[in-house]
Amino acid sequence: MAAIRSIMRNLRQQSRAGPLAAQRRFLNLHEYQSLTIMNDHGVCVPHIEVVKSMSELDAQADKIKGDCVVKAQVLAGGRGLGHFKENGFQGGVLGTSSREELRECAEKMLGKTLITKQTGEAGKPCNFLMLAEKFQIKEGGEKYFAILMDRGAGGPIMIGSKVGGTSIEDIAEADPSAIIRIPVDINKGCDKKMALDMANKMGWTGAQGEEAANSIVGLYDTFISKDCTMLEINPMAELEDGRVIVCDAKVGFDDNAFFRQKEIFDQADDSQEDPRDLEASKWDLNYIGLDGSVACMVNGAGLAMATMDLLTHVGGSPANFLDVGGNASVGQIKAAFKIVKSDPRTKGMLINIFGGIMRCDVVAEGVVEASKEMKLDLPIVVRLVGTNVEEGKKILKDSGLALYSEDDLNKAAKLAVKLAAENK
């Protein structure tokens, strides 16, 4: 079951909107967007409406028969247990029993910042609310269902459980046999027979089994046709009225499929992202913001991780992971500096470049141009090794800037930490 737990842990991490997930190869959509896409593929979902301003709340609520559940639309898990930064209001997912209660909840959610266990203290802005029909789930009717790519299976794999509505990792830990795994031949797809087998194993039979199977076929069709990296339903539930519906959905999409899925990618909500991450993506830079004081600019992910570890080892703390890759231009170097400068916690910078594919003189030129253009007041330690290293060092030396050149990486890291500590 270690493999199962690993799969689900990766699934959670991919959908998590925390600080280490910002520079990811996945597009995430809001719940209302994902449910709309699923509905288009024949999946049974609740009746939902979207509210973007208080002025349209009543009109949207009128479209839903009966009472509403109001859900804050932010890209983070744990919304139900979250709270809003501005007013301390508890809960980003609440059932309401009157229009007055709905209006009160909406006013305290819309336009506010929701903090959950996955957002950190910064939280995420709630610019939309989703109103959903209020329904009663049959006792014991909550199940878990997901589809993701599995290297071990060599393609898509459907994962299910008779128990849902809670952490799948906890379910797997408590009872490994509760996890159902059905690999799917990507060339053949998921037909009604396979879907019905999964539905039966999840505990649905008869009319509910047929209904669940129809939705499973639709979910697989969504997964493949929309280039999803993962699709998680928790819970998929049987209601008191006999329906089997998708109650909550998390869907990730592969950024490499942008050329095929432009309509979906146009729905991305940039307000949910760190502005630094958005700027980095424009310049094809691999950036992850951290909470330290020494910024790093390195070429190569492995070297970047080693540099961050070394900074920590010598008593410092990295402010970011920033990999400029092997073919960075002067423009990209300058963009990287702008991103670094935008972080007020940064007090110093270590540039560690191994000139294999990348030329040291190009890096030096970018460093000098960026320093002059932005009038950087950060102490910058530069370590260049490899192709055109002498030319690069000459550019730095002749610049007239207060740049600290150091060939020894250990000494460079210690110097960067020391200068950052002195730069109050």
Task: Note if 232 is an active site residue.
Answer: yes
Please pick, among 31, 32, 144, 273, the residue that the annotation labels catalytic: 144
H helix runs in 41-91, sequence order: 57-62
- How far lies 127's CA from each of 72, 106, 253, 289, 350, in Å? 8, 11, 22, 23, 38
- How far lies 408's CA from each of 42, 381, 391, in Å? 61, 11, 18
| Number of continuous H segments (helices) and E segments (strands) in the chain | 14, 20
110 vs 114: CA distance, rounded Å = 10
Q: Which two tokens stand for residue 325?
A: 């890759």
345 - beta bridge partners?
Answer: none
- Could you tell me if 103 and 61 are in contact, meaning their C-beta atoms sit under 8 angstroms apart? no
281 vs 222: CA distance, rounded Å = 26
Q: Which two tokens stand for residue 69?
A: 């559940």
- Could you tell me if 314 and 342 are in contact, meaning their C-beta atoms sit under 8 angstroms apart? no
- Could you tell me if 330 and 366 are in contact, meaning their C-beta atoms sit under 8 angstroms apart? yes
Q: CA dihedral defined by 198, 247, 17, 323, rounded to 10 degrees?
A: 40
The phi, psi pair for 131, rounded to 5°, reads: -100, 130
* List of residues 6+ apart from 107 with CB closer than 8 A: 54
210 vs 255: CA distance, rounded Å = 34
Please pick, among 232, 273, 365, 406, the residue that the annotation labels catalytic: 232
Report the side by side order of strands in the sheet with 93-95: 48-51, 129-133, 68-72, 93-95
Task: Note if 144 is an active site residue.
Answer: yes
Give SS3 for 148.
strand
* List of residues 6+ apart from 206 with CB closer than 8 A: none
343 vs 346: CA distance, rounded Å = 6
- How far lies 193's CA from each of 13, 148, 189, 190, 201, in Å? 32, 20, 11, 8, 12
Residues belonging to the active site: 144, 232
